[in-house]
């Protein structure tokens, strides 16, 4: 009797005396140089630099143990074909001011989609070679993006602040010079990137750091800088037909946006309790200051927050009066202005862009806290969006 079980195979096919040879698995060397995130997940890493494919898909920080001194980013795409060397003739790298300039430029091409220009940053850098303030602000936004996605972000923080200060100084000088199609392009794109930096420069979303709880005279400087964008657009309108970049500010208007911009748009788009709060019945001398931003906020409630809609949402700032009366009312802590501004921030909180989320969350929550402290709930409409 056999010591173990007797296994037999029943087959309805033709028998074969030969036995299929056993194939051993090919030995392979296990990689130990994958990124830390893939090691933690116990999954295979393709070791892509500066970001592996898995971290790119999951939009998560990607870092390597062997590259502790290297900036860590969350996106890595093939650099576009260039007709010039973006690193050439830009001067020596100034590593004493944080992340070296050459690394910021490579990060710009590999990892960052600039506003309006997508991933093709070559035209901006070509223009930046003659308009230094544009190059400065592009380097600042690259450093800001790197800081938001770095494990060790101190070098990129230093670079962000340095290049912003350089851009501000050179930009003030440029604004005093005569305009042409080339400088108009550079000024508008610089102003646009400055508007993004107004949001991205915050380091956390702590409501205690909001302007509403500050007594500093420049507490609304980040908003004032954005309010300068519309006058610059007006000043450069004569150069748009000859511009290589400014055509992006004249996209085909949708029916909804065209309807919104109709001066005959009735107040019925604005909820009745908003009209009462904001004094839009023509009896309040300040009511006209709120008319256009209230229409925009009421309209945006029904605009789906897809990525492409961020420019439309941002137009709320363009509806604020160019005489800065709305801004002044915010500084004086006028409850109506604060509420309407907070409502727009709540709408912006629908988005999760890297440059947007901390500033918006901080200011929105701070305004909600401030309004709650001012009086009983129900005195002002809720700003939950």
Mean pLDDT by 10 residues, the chain (385 residues): 61 63 66 81 77 69 59 38 41 66 85 59 81 94 89 84 94 91 88 92 93 94 92 83 54 41 66 91 80 93 91 92 94 96 97 93 96 70 59
**Torsion angle of the four alpha carbons 365, 366, 367, 373, in this order, in degrees rounded to the nearest 10:** 110
Euclidean distance between CA atoms 141 and 147, whole angstroms:
10
- Residue 27: left (phi > 0), alpha (psi -120 to 50), or beta? beta
| R_g (Cα) of the chain, nearest Å | 28
Do 330 and 222 contact (CB within 8 A), yes or no? no
Whole-number pLDDT of residue 333: 95
State how far the alpha carbon of 304 is from the alpha carbons of 249, 308, 310, 347, 366, in Å: 21, 10, 10, 10, 25
Whole-number pLDDT of residue 149: 84
Cis peptide, bond prior to residue 50, ω within 30 of zero = yes
Whole-number pLDDT of residue 280: 87
Residue with the two structure tokens 């945006």 = 300
Euclidean distance between CA atoms 213 and 208, whole angstroms:
7
Number of H helices, E strands in the chain: 16, 0
Whole-number pLDDT of residue 374: 85
Do 105 and 124 contact (CB within 8 A), yes or no? no
The pTM (predicted TM-score) of the whole model is 0.70
């Amino acid at each position: 009797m056999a010591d173990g079980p007797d296994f037999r195979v029943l087959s309805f096919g033709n028998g074969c005396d030969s036995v299929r040879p056993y194939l051993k698995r090919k030995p392979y060397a296990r990689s130990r140089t994958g990124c830390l995130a893939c090691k933690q997940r116990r999954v295979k890493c393709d070791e892509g630099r500066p970001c592996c494919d898995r971290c790119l898909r999951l939009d998560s920080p990607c870092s390597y143990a062997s590259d502790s001194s290297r900036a860590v980013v969350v996106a890595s795409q093939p650099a576009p074909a260039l007709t010039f060397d973006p690193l050439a003739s830009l001067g020596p790298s100034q590593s004493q001011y944080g992340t070296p300039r050459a690394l910021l430029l490579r990060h710009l091409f590999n990892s960052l989609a600039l506003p309006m220009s997508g991933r093709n940053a070559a035209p901006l850098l070509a223009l930046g070679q003659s308009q230094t303030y544009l190059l400065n602000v592009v380097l600042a936004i690259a450093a800001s993006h790197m800081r938001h996605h770095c494990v060790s972000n101190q070098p990129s923080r230093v670079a962000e602040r340095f290049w912003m200060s350089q851009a501000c100084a050179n930009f003030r000088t440029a604004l005093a010079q005569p305009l042409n199609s080339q400088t108009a392009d550079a000024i508008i794109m610089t102003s646009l990137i400055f508007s993004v930096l107004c949001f991205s420069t915050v380091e956390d979303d702590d409501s205690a750091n909001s302007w509403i709880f500050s007594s500093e005279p420049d507490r609304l400087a980040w908003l004032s800088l954005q309010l300068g964008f519309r006058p610059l657009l007006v000043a450069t309108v004569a150069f748009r037909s000859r511009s290589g970049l400014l055509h992006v500010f004249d996209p085909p208007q949708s029916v909804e946006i065209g309807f919104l911009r109709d001066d005959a748009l009735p107040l019925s788009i604005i909820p009745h309790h908003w009209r009462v709060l904001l004094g839009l019945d023509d009896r309040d001398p300040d009511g006209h200051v709120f008319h256009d931003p209230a229409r925009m906020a009421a309209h945006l409630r029904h605009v789906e927050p897809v990525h492409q809609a961020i420019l439309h949402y941002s137009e709320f700032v363009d509806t604020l009066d160019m005489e800065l009366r709305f801004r002044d009312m915010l500084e004086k802590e006028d409850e109506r202005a604060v509420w309407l501004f907070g409502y727009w921030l709540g709408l912006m909180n629908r988005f999760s862009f890297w440059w947007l989320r901390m500033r918006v969350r901080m200011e929105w929550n701070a305004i909600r806290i401030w309004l709650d402290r001012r009086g009983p709930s129900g005195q002002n409409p809720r700003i939950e969006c």
